[in-house]
Structure formats: C-alpha cells, structure tokens
C-alpha cells in the first residue's frame, strides 16, 4: 500500500548537531512534498510521515510523539538496527519513497499501567532492583505462573528482541509477529527460559513481599518511570494501536541481523 506523502516531518536526534536538514528538505520539496522541521516538543498532527534522523533512540522518540504516524529512520547514530538506510543514501531513499518502493512493517505496541500512571512500550518494560535480589510474582490472565528471582524481569515486544532482550539471551523474533517476550534479568535459576506469550494475554508483575531491596525501579524503553514498593503491581498488555516503520527492502530484518549484529 502506497502512503500519501503530502507533508512529512523531520525529527533529528539532537537539534544542536549539524544535520543536512536543508538537503533533506530540498529532496522532498522537489517532488512537491511539504516539509516540517520538528523542534523542541512540537507534535504537528497533519504529517503523513516522520523522517527520524538518528539511531534507534530517535525512532522510539518518534513513535512516542507521533503514535499514529509511520516512521522512516535514516541512521545518524551507531548501530541503528531500526533504521532503513544510511545518511550517505539520502537522495536514493527519498526517490524510493516517492516511487512507492518500500514496505511497511506493522509492529506490536504494549500498554503499561503502573501505580500513578500509564504509558506505551515499544521495546520492553522492566522491573529492576539495584542492590539485592528482586522477587517478582508473574501472573498471566490473573493466574500466577511463577516467581522470578534475580536482578529483575522484562516484558518486551518483537521489536525489542534485538535490544536488551537479546543481550539477556532471549530469542530473536521477527518484528511483525504479534507476541510478548517474558524473561528474567540475571535470574538466579539455572533452568529458567524466556517465555513467548500471545499478544492478547495480560501480564501482571508484582513486587513480591520477599523483596528486600528498597530501590526497585520501573523502566520503560530505557527510561526510569517510577519506584515500586513490595505488593505493587505493573500491568502489561497490547495497546490499541500499532507502530509502523518504513523499510526499503522486504528482507531488511535478516540483512540488518547480518550487517549490524554479525548474526
């Protein structure tokens, strides 16, 4: 399906860095496409596409600020696993977009509810202790399945399976698969394994009263959200909408695994 491209937004990783904004603007405007440079906390609502200039962190920021808008990322970072191309290929990337030669990767987004608030999760939500073992009671659809003992626990998306979850030893999952990945962080158990759950399931993580660490944190996509006390719950399930990433090659996932992660 070819997306309408009447107006696009450019979201840089850092406004203070020297990005080729004028070059990107000229490339799109040559095809009659309006361009908006997104500054500060701006979130225009009339965009057909967000062009993220940066790495994976910029992609997550684009998702968070423009949840209903497709995103294409051009790598100005380091690894850039979620990016569609490199900065040196700007002209080619724009031409392929205009010609409709791309694919849309639709990805699961999780909704997280915690004491005092709620938010969206694109990679993973984690509970982490800082000094002592964290005991986390895990419930699926309100049925307790186990208690995880370790440095913490993570519930993630297929998009997140190539980030923290991969470093934890969880499986790689193709990003279009609709599932959740549950795994312990440095779990104190030789036989523990990651668990794959259908996206429709509801996960509840409870800080067990057995936990003795007074500094338990809820972290979403690398950002510390709040502290948690024993007995408090965090609920995780699929969100109402998905995230859409644009790629220029239908085999992008395997190419990126090989080129960026030496798979």
CATH architecture for the domain at 7-107+242-261:
3-Layer(aba) Sandwich (3.40)
Q: Which two tokens stand for residue 220?
A: 């979403």
Q: Are 48 and 86 in contact (CB under 8 A)?
A: no
**DSSP β-bridge partners for residue 184:** 153
Superfamily of domain 110-238: Probable inorganic polyphosphate/atp-NAD kinase; domain 2 (2.60.200.30)
Instruction: Give the whole-angstrom CA distance, residue 5 versus residue 32.
Output: 9
Q: Tell me the whole-structure pTM to 2 decimals.
A: 0.92
- Residue-range domain boundaries for the chain: 7-107+242-261, 110-238
Q: Are 11 and 49 in contact (CB under 8 A)?
A: no
Q: Are 116 and 143 in contact (CB under 8 A)?
A: no
Q: What is the pLDDT along the chain (263 residues), one digit of tens a residue?
A: 688 899 999 998 876 666 777 888 899 999 999 999 998 888 888 999 999 998 899 999 999 999 989 999 999 877 789 999 988 889 999 999 999 999 999 999 999 999 999 999 999 999 999 889 999 999 999 999 999 999 999 999 999 999 999 999 999 999 999 999 999 999 998 888 999 999 999 999 999 999 988 889 999 999 999 999 999 999 999 999 999 999 999 999 999 999 988 88
φ, ψ (nearest 5 deg) of residue 165: -60, -40
Q: Are 54 and 10 in contact (CB under 8 A)?
A: no
């Amino acid at each position: 399906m070819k997306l309408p491209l009447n107006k696009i937004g450019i979201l840089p990783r850092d406004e203070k860095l020297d990005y080729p904004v004028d070059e990107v603007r000229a490339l799109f405007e040559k095809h009659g496409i309006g361009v908006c440079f997104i500054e500060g906390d701006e979130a225009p609502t009339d965009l057909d596409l967000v062009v993220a200039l940066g790495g994976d962190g910029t992609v997550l920021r684009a998702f968070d600020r423009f949840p209903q808008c497709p995103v294409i990322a051009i790598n100005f970072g380091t690894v850039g696993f979620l990016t569609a191309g490199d900065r040196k290929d700007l002209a080619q990337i724009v031409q392929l977009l205009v010609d409709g030669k791309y694919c849309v990767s639709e990805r699961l987004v999780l909704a997280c509810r915690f004491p005092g608030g709620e938010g969206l999760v694109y990679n993973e939500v984690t509970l982490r202790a800082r000094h002592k073992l964290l005991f986390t009671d895990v419930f699926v659809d309100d049925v307790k399945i186990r208690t995880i003992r370790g440095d913490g626990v993570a519930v993630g998306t297929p998009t997140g399976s190539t980030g923290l979850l991969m470093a934890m030893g969880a499986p790689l999952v193709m990003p279009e698969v609709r599932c959740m990945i549950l795994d312990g962080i440095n779990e104190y158990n030789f036989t523990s394994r990651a668990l794959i759950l259908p996206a429709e399931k509801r996960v509840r993580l409870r800080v067990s009263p057995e936990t003795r660490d007074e500094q338990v944190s809820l972290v979403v996509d690398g950002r510390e959200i709040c502290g948690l006390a024993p007995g408090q719950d965090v609920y995780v399930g699929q969100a109402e909408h998905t995230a859409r990433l644009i790629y220029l090659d239908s085999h992008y996932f395997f190419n990126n695994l090989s080129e960026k992660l030496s798979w």
